Amino acid sequence: MILLWVVLFLPIIMANNFKRVSRIVYSSVETQGFLSCNGKPAKNIKIALLSKNVLNRTLTLNQTLTAVNGAFLIRGCANIFQGLKLNIGIAHQCNEPNRYCFHIINFLIPQSYISRNRFPFRRYNFGIIELDKVYGTQHVNCKKSIRKKVFKSSMKL
């Protein structure tokens, strides 16, 4: 009798548990903007979409470079375990005489523009970001060699 119960009901119980696990909540965002340095469009500037997770770790969701006119468009998706706070990080060398140093700026994306889906419903527009200004979240990171990756080691929230 017990064997019959296990054979009949165990697959149903296991299937219901797998359905609960597969319902992961996602956060997605899409942003755009323009970067300029001394009034001129800043081209080939690295932009990273970053998320800070529950364990206070910063993850890179996506990276892109600005176009010739300084425009960028970046989108990304994270599950609830990967990130709760989404922001963009910009690594640039505007007005920096040392070629091994990068100015890193972080901009937080408002929660109202973060969709609880795999695909974003709204796009957040940063407008024109002047890189020659000093921002509160800006810091300088200098490396001994230009070959080291800027985003992997230095972008922190």
93 token code pair: 């060398």
Q: What's CA 136's distance to the chain center, in Å?
A: 19
Residue 147 is predicted with a pLDDT of 52
Q: Which of 94, 97, 100 has the alpha carbon at shortest distance from 43?
A: 94
Please list the alpha-helical segments (H only) found in the chain. 2-22, 150-154
Is the pTM of the predicted complex or chain greater than 0.75? Answer: no
- Give me the helices (H) in 46-128, please: none
Domains in the chain: ranges and CATH = 27-154 (2.60.40.3330)
| pLDDT for res 126 | 93
* pLDDT per residue as tens, the chain (157 positions): 565 555 555 555 555 544 444 567 788 889 999 999 999 999 999 999 988 876 778 888 899 999 999 999 999 988 766 556 788 999 999 988 888 889 999 999 998 888 888 888 889 999 999 998 888 888 888 887 555 454 554 454 4
Gyration radius (Cα) of the chain, Å: 21
